[in-house]
Amino acid sequence: MLSKNLFISSYCHVKNNTISFNGNVLFSDDSQDFSGFVKSAAKHLNTSYPKLYKMDNLSKLASLAADAILSEQKAQSDTALVFSNRASSLDTDRKHQASISDTNNYYPSPSIFVYTLPNICLGEISIKHQLHSENCFFVFDKFNPEHLHGNTEYLLHHKKAETVLCGWVDFDDKNYEAFLYLVSENGNIAHTVDEISRRYRSKL
């Protein structure tokens, strides 16, 4: 198979109340909790999108990271999404569970329940950037660059997509971490398992 060389064209971290893009800090504010951080980040980055505030934490996290990359590149409609994490939708699962286990105050919320699936964040990104592309969500013990790499290479070599936005978005209680990167035929960083791991570990 004649395979074109693929590159990581950009990447983004969201962690410790800091958003960074290609290794440079875009926004940082450690004075607030996560939802406060999201509000000020969205204002700072001018990503006006009222629906952001309706999302659960995992979708907010994924959207912030995706926005940093996709607004820069102007999202192509055949950008596939390949995401993964460890905690699945546990953060929101707990909220839904709490609302149904109290029989005296039994009012489960539809807008919480809809987020009790990890792949809803893929839907949110698809809606905002109008991506009718292929997407998949994997659950792993820990960041798994080999798997993401294999999947992405397949999608691009088989022309299933022009670009792939992939990575890790994990939200569990107060701990969260997002690392997303865009893979295409353009860029300076070779798309290899080593480079993915290196950028992931760089934390910036």
Partner 1 sequence: MSELKQELKEKIIDILNLEDLSPSDINNNDALFGDGLGLDSIDALELIVMLDKDFGIQLTDPKQGKEIFKSISVLADYIAEHRKK
Partner 2 sequence: MPNIEKNKARKGVAITGIGIISAIGNTLEENRISLLSSQSGIGDVTQIKTKQASQIKVGEVKLTNDELIDQLNLPKDNNFTRTALLGLVAAKEAVKNSGISIDASIETGFISATSVGGMDKTEIHLKDFPSKRETQKYVSSHHAGDSTQKIADALGINGFVTTISTACSSAANAIMLGARMITSGQLDRVIVGGTDALSKFTINGFKTLMILSDDVCTPFDEDRKGLNLGEAAAYLVLESDEMTKNKNVLAYLTGYGNANDAFHQTASSETGEGAFLAMQKALQIADLKSSDINYVNAHGTATPNNDLSESMALTRIFGEPMPDFSSTKSFTGHTLAAAGAIEAVFSVMALQEQTVWPNLNFRTKIEETGLEPTSVLKTKNIQNVLSNSFGFGGNCSTLIFSKR
Q: Which residues bind partner 1 (CB under 8 A)?
A: 39, 50, 52-54, 107-111, 114
Nearest Cα to Cα of residue 22 among 158, 183, 195, 181: 181
Q: Which of 31, 103, 105, 188 binds partner 2 (CB under 8 A)?
A: 103
- Should residue 110 be labelled a site residue for partner 2 when binding is judged by CB under 8 A? yes
Residue 168: helix, strand or coil by DSSP? strand
Distance CA 71, CA 63 (A): 11
Which helix (H) or strand (E) element contains residue 79?
A: strand 79-85
Q: At 39, list the tokens.
A: 């509000």
**Residue 39, contacted partner among partner 1, partner 2, none, CB below 5-8 A by kind:** partner 1
Nearest Cα to Cα of residue 75 among 138, 125, 21: 125
Nearer to partner 1, 71 or 99 (CB): 99
**Residue 26, contacted partner among partner 1, partner 2, none, CB below 5-8 A by kind:** none
Q: Which of 150, 173, 186, 194 binds partner 2 (CB under 8 A)?
A: 150
Cβ 123 to partner 1 shortest distance, Å? 12
79-85/163-172 β-pairing:
parallel
Cβ 23 to partner 2 shortest distance, Å? 30
